[in-house]
Chain A
Amino acid sequence: MGEHAVEVEGLVRKFGDLTAVDGISFTVERGEVFGFLGPNGAGKTTTINMLCTLLSPTAGKAMVDGFDVVKNKREVRQRIGLVFQDPSLDDRLTANENLDFHAVVYAVPHAVREKRKRELLETVDLLDRADDLVITFSGGMKRRLEIARGLLHHPRVLFLDEPTIGLDPQTRKYIWDYIGDLKRREDITIFLTTHYMEEAEHCDRIAIIDHGKIIALDTSENLKNMVGGDIIRIKTDDDARAEELLKERFGVNILEDRDCLCFEVERGEEFIPRLFHDFDVSIQSISLHRPTLDDVFLKLTGREIRDEEADGLMEMRRMVTRVRPPFAR
């Protein structure tokens, strides 16, 4: 035990009749960026909450950095950094004060505290806002500050629960740049969850989770290979002739034939030049679709991860409860 950053075996968590996590097992190697991908309600956050000792498992076993999450809670807590799905900063304190609070509860020695704080604030581009109240920060800034805070005590494993949820595309890109940067600079393992397919691509390995079960676990490349090759769609002046030519010369199978020709090839980007070089029918348009993790999920479950709308609604509801002023003094 202990060679892996995270080791999970037969982990189960039930809430009454509902089984949120249904006997999952996996290991995360040290230094890896490991992603948990699945729709909302698949059991991602429940898993993270168990790994970070916030929730006790109904059954099974989980070790983080060699320590049992049930028996050695404090050891685990000292070794992990967390960035939650929802903000967890004190917005009436400044960025600096939030970091100070964290430094004390994680016993970061005085000697390194200031230097570490500066270094992290610099990494997340917040050094000039260090003494501003967090309440004045944008969503993206808050998330960045949380990432900095999660790293303050030199954790061995950093858990990021939906690190980019509710952020605009530009900020999302920034966050991913930071995470990439982090992987290079710190000797750290990153465990993250997301329901954005594109974002899961940033991970070294991805576990696809649905209804509390891991249905696939591999690199993004291998997962996509499961689905098959690239899909090319072309429109021509003479589809019938084109279809004939394609079958004859390139030996491809036409998949569907409505208003365009659609077929699957091994390497689309290499196929297209060959096609142009040796094709008599004039082509009106051409498109190449590489399989995405969406396709993988679709193939594995028969469903698409489509909960963006529901998500937006939840976010709005959260905002509404949040802006309501406190009633008491």
Chain B
Amino acid sequence: MGALEEKAVELKGEAAALPAGRKSSGMRWAMRGIYIIWVREFKRFWRDRARRIGGFAQPIMYLALLGVGMQSAFKVFGGGDVPYIKFMFPGILGLTVLFTSVFSAISIIWDREFGFLKEVLVSPVPRSSVALGKIIGGSTTALIQGAIFLILAFTPWVYGFSLDTLWKVLAVIPLIVLMSLSLTSLGVAVAARMTSMEGFPILMNFLLMPMFFLSGAFFPLQGLPRWMDVLTKIDPLTYGVDALRGIMLKGLDLAAGAPGNLAQFAAWFKDPEILRIGLGKGYPDPSSLSALARQASLPVQAHPLWMDVLVMVGFGVFLFTLALWQFNRAE
């Protein structure tokens, strides 16, 4: 390239860089914001070795220690033939997604504390695109954590290395995406207007611990007192864990009678007992059930898959709207 041409290109570039020459729609500004904030979130996650290792080690620890330790107790309390580790694996998966998603939003408080949020808020990209970038970025990290953890599903102690496991894992991934998007939104909604870096984990643990315990990640939500039963129903994570467990234990296989398919749907109307289970009225006492109902009432899935997904989408939309609203209101 000749010097003259180079100069020409340079000049053209300069002219293009002048503010007056920059015309683009709000949509393009938004896309720009979402993209670069997502890239940054991801970069920061990837660079933080402690986060990567910790995020992976913690679920393994839960799985190994609790899974083995609780195995015998689980049998005693009517877990039947489902090995506890298999029962619990989806729960730990839910836990991983929950914590990674929600705590990724702490970066907002972090950015406010260190001033970087100002750089973003004063830029021409719309505010909601900043929130959106954060939500997508946080969800990406949660998805990665979840995906890494899912590799463990193939080990012989969990579900074993088989094509069946692979299908289940693949079926679970869209659910994880859905869960992490809504849970990151929850985090963003809370972090959006918070200024205390110390307060966020305390508040979040206060919120997340019950969410987690009530979700049925560790124990089947069976024969609970009425008040607790109600709480489990309003816990968004319940439906996430329920769906994850349903797929991991029963698969999406229609013939296996997984909830959400037509055969199951029909069965409800034949047997009012199953209808009761299907509509999420909780687990009945197994001894009082018909054979068909008993089979369906294994502590595997409390709600049909479609219902789980529907509820999760509902919560997701709500939390997402809340997050954008809160973020737009923030100073």
- Which A residues form the contact surface with B (CB < 8 A)? 52-54, 65, 74, 77-79, 82, 84, 86-93, 97, 101-102, 104-109, 111-112, 115-116, 149, 153-156, 321-322, 324, 326-329
Smallest beta-carbon distance A65→chain B, Å: 8
Chain A residue at minimal CB-CB distance from B204: A328
In contact, A102 and B32 (Cβ under 8 angstroms): no
Given contacts A328-B106, A328-B200, contact A74 B118 (CB under 8 A): no
Smallest beta-carbon distance A194→chain B, Å: 19
In contact, A109 and B16 (Cβ under 8 angstroms): yes
Residue in B16, B19, B28, B100 with the greatest tally of chain A CB atoms within 10 Å: B19
A-B contact pairs, 10 of them (CB 8 A): A78-B124, A87-B114, A88-B116, A92-B48, A112-B16, A112-B17, A116-B17, A153-B17, A154-B14, A329-B54
- Which B residues form the contact surface with A (CB < 8 A)? 9-10, 12-14, 16-19, 22, 24, 26, 28-29, 32-33, 35-36, 40, 43-44, 47-48, 50-51, 54-55, 99-100, 103, 106, 110-111, 113-125, 197-198, 200-201, 204
Smallest beta-carbon distance B330→chain A, Å: 11
In contact, B110 and A326 (Cβ under 8 angstroms): yes
In contact, B197 and A324 (Cβ under 8 angstroms): yes
Assembled-state Cα–Cα distance A84/B16 (Å): 27
Chain B residue at minimal CB-CB distance from A82: B122
A-side contacts of B120, CB under 8 Å: 105
Given contacts A105-B32, A107-B32, A327-B201, contact A90 B17 (CB under 8 A): no
Given contacts A109-B17, A153-B17, 14 further A-B contacts (CB under 8 A): A82-B118, A90-B44, A92-B48, A101-B119, A104-B35, A105-B32, A105-B33, A107-B28, A153-B19, A155-B19, A321-B197, A326-B110, A328-B200, A329-B54
Smallest beta-carbon distance B251→chain A, Å: 32
B-side contacts of A153, CB under 8 Å: 17, 19
Given contacts A82-B122, A84-B118, contact A111 B16 (CB under 8 A): yes
Assembled-state Cα–Cα distance A101/B116 (Å): 11
In contact, B103 and A329 (Cβ under 8 angstroms): yes
In contact, A104 and B200 (Cβ under 8 angstroms): no
Pairs of residues from A and B, 8 with the lowest C-beta to C-beta distance, nearest first:
A88-B115, A112-B13, A111-B13, A105-B123, A104-B36, A328-B201, A77-B124, A88-B119
Assembled-state Cα–Cα distance A114/B291 (Å): 71
Given contacts A77-B122, A105-B124, A107-B29, contact A84 B115 (CB under 8 A): yes
In contact, A154 and B16 (Cβ under 8 angstroms): no
In contact, A106 and B124 (Cβ under 8 angstroms): yes
In contact, B44 and A92 (Cβ under 8 angstroms): yes
B-side contacts of A149, CB under 8 Å: 119
Prevailing SS type, chain B contact patch: helix
A-side contacts of B9, CB under 8 Å: 111
In contact, B119 and A102 (Cβ under 8 angstroms): yes
A-side contacts of B122, CB under 8 Å: 52-54, 77, 82
A-side contacts of B33, CB under 8 Å: 105
Residue in B17, B48, B120, B200 with the greatest tally of chain A CB atoms within 10 Å: B17
The listed residue (B16, B115, B200) touching A87 by CB distance below 8 A is B115
Smallest beta-carbon distance A107→chain B, Å: 6
Chain B residue at minimal CB-CB distance from A109: B16
Chain A residue at minimal CB-CB distance from B111: A90
Assembled-state Cα–Cα distance A122/B22 (Å): 26
A-side contacts of B200, CB under 8 Å: 328
Smallest beta-carbon distance B13→chain A, Å: 4
Assembled-state Cα–Cα distance A322/B22 (Å): 38
B-side contacts of A327, CB under 8 Å: 197-198, 201
The listed residue (A54, A93, A97) touching B118 by CB distance below 8 A is A54
Assembled-state Cα–Cα distance A296/B123 (Å): 37
Assembled-state Cα–Cα distance A107/B125 (Å): 9
In contact, A107 and B22 (Cβ under 8 angstroms): yes
Assembled-state Cα–Cα distance A109/B118 (Å): 23
Smallest beta-carbon distance B168→chain A, Å: 28
In contact, B18 and A154 (Cβ under 8 angstroms): yes
Assembled-state Cα–Cα distance A108/B44 (Å): 23
Smallest beta-carbon distance A279→chain B, Å: 58
In contact, B125 and A105 (Cβ under 8 angstroms): yes
Smallest beta-carbon distance B24→chain A, Å: 6
Chain A residue at minimal CB-CB distance from B120: A105
In contact, B110 and A78 (Cβ under 8 angstroms): no
B-side contacts of A329, CB under 8 Å: 50-51, 54-55, 99-100, 103
Assembled-state Cα–Cα distance A31/B123 (Å): 23
Residue in B13, B32, B36, B106 with the greatest tally of chain A CB atoms within 10 Å: B13
In contact, A91 and B36 (Cβ under 8 angstroms): no
Assembled-state Cα–Cα distance A322/B17 (Å): 36
Assembled-state Cα–Cα distance A92/B120 (Å): 16
Chain A residue at minimal CB-CB distance from B115: A88
Smallest beta-carbon distance A259→chain B, Å: 51
In contact, A321 and B113 (Cβ under 8 angstroms): yes
Assembled-state Cα–Cα distance A53/B32 (Å): 20
A-side contacts of B121, CB under 8 Å: 54
In contact, B19 and A79 (Cβ under 8 angstroms): yes
B-side contacts of A322, CB under 8 Å: 113-114
In contact, A86 and B115 (Cβ under 8 angstroms): yes
Chain B residue at minimal CB-CB distance from A53: B122
Assembled-state Cα–Cα distance A116/B33 (Å): 21
Assembled-state Cα–Cα distance A153/B33 (Å): 16
Assembled-state Cα–Cα distance A107/B119 (Å): 14
Assembled-state Cα–Cα distance A74/B28 (Å): 13
A-side contacts of B198, CB under 8 Å: 324, 327
